[in-house]
Amino acid sequence: MKKVTALVLCVFTLSACEQGSKEGFGTFMGAIGGALVGSAISDNGRGGTGNGMVIGALAGGIIGNSIGRSLDEADRKSMYQAQQVALETYPSGQASTWYNPDNGHSGSYIAQPAQQNDSGQYCREFQQTVTIGGETQNAYGKACRQPDGDWKIVNN
């Protein structure tokens, strides 16, 4: 877990160096999603995550970088709005979609039932898709409602 935390922090730090960078945003989001998927796949029922989380973070970062390279500001804004709608207002399993008519990019968020964590926050797992140039990528994550009402993606 320490290795993954260090890896995610390194990716975040590097992506922060390029303010407004599409690649940095995509790399960061892909690394988080990849770590979560890798963790889930490699969980052997004993609470361990093995190396799957690290491998998932690296693979997700690479995929996310290529997606991020293609997303513009309008895409990211639309994605964020669709994410907030899915997490805040849509029932579990209903897709909140977005589409950018200028470049044809699109995507969706499908949220699962909300659950309260140990600190009292409501959190929802979600599935995200992004389609760029006919290529669709899937990601999974978890977001928790913040005190201001917005939902923030978390890595646990």
Same domain, 63 and 104: no
Whether residues 77 and 146 share a domain: the answer is: yes
Task: Specify whether 97 is located in the same domain as 139.
Answer: yes
Tally of structural domains, the chain: 2
Does 140 lie in the same domain as 111?
yes
pLDDT per residue, tens digit, the chain (156 aa), is 444 444 444 444 344 444 444 455 555 566 666 666 565 555 555 555 556 666 766 666 665 655 556 688 999 999 999 999 999 999 999 999 999 999 999 999 999 999 999 999 999 999 999 999 999 999 999 999 999 999 999 975
Tokens of 120: 């009292």
Asked if 142 and 121 count as a contact pair (C-beta separation under 8 A), the reply is no
Do residue 36 and residue 58 come from a single domain?
yes
Q: Are residues 65 and 101 in the same domain?
A: no
Print the domain residue range for 32: 2-70
